[in-house]
Each structure stands twice: as structure tokens, then as C-alpha cells.
A and B are shown apart, each in its own frame.
Chain A
Amino acid sequence: MSSGRGKREAENGRCNINVVQLEGLALMKIIKHCHEEGAGNTEVAQGVLLGLVVDERLEITNCFPFPRHADDVDEEDYQLEMMRHLRKVNVDHLSVGWYQSTQLGNFITTQLLESQFSYQTSIEESVVLIYDPIKTARGFLSIKAYRLTPEAINIVQERDYTPEALKKGRLGFETLFQEIRLVIKNSHLVNTLLTELYEFMPGSEGKQFLDLGTMSTLDRQLRCLMENVDDLSQEANKFNNFQRQNAKQLQDKHKFMQKRAAENAQRQARGEPPLPEEDINKQFKPIAPLPRLDAMITSGQIYNYCKQVSQFCSQSLGKLYVAKALQQEKK
């Protein structure tokens, strides 16, 4: 998703975004779009965020979704059209990022990396908002803002994911993305509407997060976790193979050199000219170092899952303790 238009002059030095401020309207639009789009698909719902940057705050005031199944609609054109129309109705039309839905936190992928990279290089301050509709349906609003760290940007720019480059750039799976604090802000007008809506809203529906049943979510989360761990172990295997091959090659090289040296010594003893020094490297082609991108991404994903599972378990434990306390009261 490259945005060719609107290349702002990149500020010299880093841009510091400490907090992302989201309008209630944008949040509800994201929720609605992801809800209508998602519902059981594995595809993600995506869209663009619009807003402004004020000091160290990135204010997101509006958003619009991307068409999903329309392959004949050119993405850039659609975006431009949409922004033009929005400008006419006096809505903020400067793009400051994009959003994506996820299922139980499986959003750390290479595509995300690439997309966020292209966004961040063209618009310095862009963020990606990750919204989890499944978790929100269970009762906990789950929306987070991420940016690529400067180290990550450097590495992705070079497209060089060998271990040496990663070590030099100090990039690990934890330093790929940085999470930014997100706050929700509403104008006074919206607040008045909210007070009105409060009367209207069915009071009993917002309480489903007090449900004690944990097994279904836990089951799914653990399944995803297991798949990722399997992927990571495959990567580890690949790496081990690479190591072994490398070691073997090194050994072979040594042997060859020793043989050479011995032969040369013999020849010298006999007074014949030594054999020409062949280029060893041509004979033993160095094996290309393994790119660590997939492993890093999978590790990051696993880390994320673990964090989520811990959070989920902690709140379930809390609920169980509450139930226990109530039970004891009854006694």
C-alpha cells in the first residue's frame, strides 16, 4: 500500500510521537467495519486513518475502510477519490496511517512489516492501529497503535536480514515494533450525545466479559500459539542445518588446504615448482547466510501470543476469585 501522493517533507531527525489520540467516531467506524467485514473470515479488514499531528500527539479524527473484494478498483485511486470527497465535506483528509483487524493477535506478519514500512517512509508519522474484534466481542476493548522502530526501518530499507546485519542494527524481535499509548478523546458535542445514548442503550449487554467460561478462547489462543511454535522450530531446524553445512564446509576447506600445503612441501623437496594457488573460494562456494526475517517475525508473534494469554489468564483468575468470594459469602 504505497501512497505516492502526499510525500511530506521528512523532518530532520526522528519524529516523536508519544501518544495517539483517537476520536470516538473513528473508533466506532473501525469497530463497525471490522465487525461487518470479518465475521469468521481469515482475511483482515483494512482502512486508512485520517488526522493531524499536533506537537507529540497524533490525532486521528476519521477513517475510511478499503474495499475488500474489489480487485478492479485501484487502491490508490480509491484513496484519492475518497479523500477528495471528504475534503469537500470539511473532514480531515490528511492520511496519518492505517488500521487492520486481527484475530486474537496474529498480526505480526511480513506483509504488516512491509506495509508499515512503506507508509512510514512516505509519511513520517504514520501508525498502524490493530483492532481485535474477537477480544472486543468478549468484552475487552482491544485496540493498539504500533510504529516501526528506527532500527527496524534501517534494516528493512537494506532488505538485508542476515544475522550480521541484524546484530549491527541491534534488531531483535522485541524491537521490531514499538507500541504507542492510545487515548480516546471526544468533543463536547459527542459527550452530550453519549449521555443521551446512555439512556437508550440496553444495560445488560455490556457485561459479557464477566462470563466465567474461559475454555473456548483459551483453546483457540493456545492452538495458534502451538502453530507458531511449530513454525519457529522449523526455522530453528533450518538454522541448524545451515550451521552444520557451514561447519562441514569449513572442515573440507581445512583438509584441502592441508593437502595442498603437504603437496607443496613435497614438491619443494623434489625441487619442482609449487602448484598454483587456486582460488579456494571458487571451489568451496561459501554458503549464503540464512536470512533471519521469518524467524524473527515468528518469534515476535509468539511473544505477542504469550502476552495475550497471560493477560487473559490473569483476568480469568480474577473472575474466579470473585466467584469464590461470593460463594463463601453465601456459606
Chain B
Amino acid sequence: MAMAALRREGRRFAPLISPRPITAVRSPPLAPSHEDEGPIGVRYVSTQVVRNRMKSVKSIQKITKAMKMVAASKLRAIQTKAENSRGLWQPFTALLGDLPSVDVKKNVVVTISSDKGLCGGINSTSVKISKGLHKLNSGPEKETKYVILGEKAKAQLVRDSKKDIELIITELQKNPLSYTQVSVLADDILKNVEYDALRIVFNKFHSVVSFVPTVSTVLSPEIVEREAESGGKLGDLDSYEIEGGETKGEILQNLAEFQFSCVMFNAVLENACSEQGARMSAMDSSSRNAGDMLDRLTLTYNRTRQASITTELIEIISGASALEG
């Protein structure tokens, strides 16, 4: 009886009054919060805290699972568009070639990234490659400028390459991606930026688990003329007949602009696919981690619960034996 009263008094008094080093608190087996100090002095975490933690981890797991489903459906929608857009730039590469090793004075690096986060490491790899290109193309009389698409690359590049930024474009994915949108964008870039070579950095979508960072190079018409003199693919340009009363320079100008627009379209679509794919795998691994965490928390919870039941039993029994003896 006395023990019961002591128990109800609460744990703070018990260590002072009771000869035994047990914090005695009355509690039903499914415990509300209490802090247990077992007979050996081992401290257990409160079950209420563990239960709250389990609830929040479970809801996080549900959210990440839902995000994965959303990303999967968005991916399906964009993927056909991206694959169809590949046919736009392939003839250009067949005609004009893709010369990443071209040595020009004015380089412009167009970095394509996403606006939203939680998509794994793809934006960091794009930024890393852009910085690498910048370094590769630096030297006397050479300059490299950035054109940035997307919030994530903006955040990273603004930190250390402020002076080299030419244009920043965001909110690209408000409407579903279409050629009109990207071509207006490409037009704006062409109007605002002087370039000899445009290097577009994006993540090419090979499959749901593989996104390869790629660089596509688009040359300005003057550089195409210059490279044509050194032979190779571009040197064969003269063997084409030109109809319609336009000159070669005029046609090269049109082609260069159109090539940029097509390459940009494909790049933006592929990057969007890669973003959704990366988000799928990131959310998937996060759901799995949440599941593991939940398992560990359940074990802790059960251990705590059993320990508190054991403690209570010990108290009752020792109390009873104290009364008898």
C-alpha cells in the first residue's frame, strides 16, 4: 500500500525515498510516457517518443512512395516525346558533325538542370561538367560564359562563378514541354549571347536507371566555315548543291540557328526524363530506408515495452515479498 502510494507520487520522489534504486511509477502495460531506470541502472528511451517517431517515419514512407509513383507516370509521358525528338538533331550531326574538341574564342556553356529538387545527383553532375568545360576552355583570349536553365544549377553556379553568368532561365516546366517553348527560349539565347561555339550540357536518358551527362556542341556559321577548310566532314559541305538562290553563308546561318533549337529541344526533354527517372530511384531508396528505420524502431519499441513490463513485475513481486517478509 505504501509502495503503491509512493509509486503514484511519481518518479522524482521515488529515488530519494525508496531504499531501492528503482524509479517506481504506476503504469499499465501499454505505457504512456515514463522514463525507466531498470534495476541495473540501464536507461531506456520512452515508448511514447519511439511511437511518435514511428508514426512520422511511416508517413514519410507513404509520401516518398507516392512521389515515386508520380515521377513514374510523368516519366512515361515525357519519354515518348524525348525519343521522338532524337530524330530532329540526328540529321544535323550527320551533316555538320559534332566537334567537342573545337578550339574557339567565345564559348558559351548552356547548363540544363531541373527546377525542383529531390532528384538525386543529376544536377550536381551537370554543374560539375559545366565547370570542367569552363576550365578546359580557359586560356589567353578565350572566354567561357554560362547560360543556366533551372533553379538547381543556378543555386550552385551563383556561388562561385558569378561573373561568368550570362543568362538565367527558370520556370521552364510550367506548361508541358513543346518545341514552340524551347524554340522561343533558344531564340532568346541566340539574341542575347555572342558565341563561337555553344556547348549544351544535359543528362541523356538511356534508361530508367542510367542518366549519362552529355555535351552537345553547336558551332556558329563562321566557325563552320573555318573548320570546313581543314577538311573532314565539314569539308564535304561544298559538295552539296544549294537551291533557291541563297548563298552558302545564308544557309549556314539558318542551319546553325535551327540546329541549336533542335538540339536544345532534345536536350531539355532528355533532361526532364532523367530528372523524373532520378527522382523515382531517389524516392525508392528513401522509401526503403524508411522501411529499415521503421523495423529498427519497432524492435526498440518492443524491447522498451517488455523492459517496462518486467520492471513492473519485479516491483510488484518485491513489494509483495517485502510485505510477507
Q: Does chain A bind chain B?
A: no
Q: Give me the interface of A with B, judged by CB distance under 8 Å.
A: none
List residues of chain B with CB under 8 Å of any chain A CB.
none
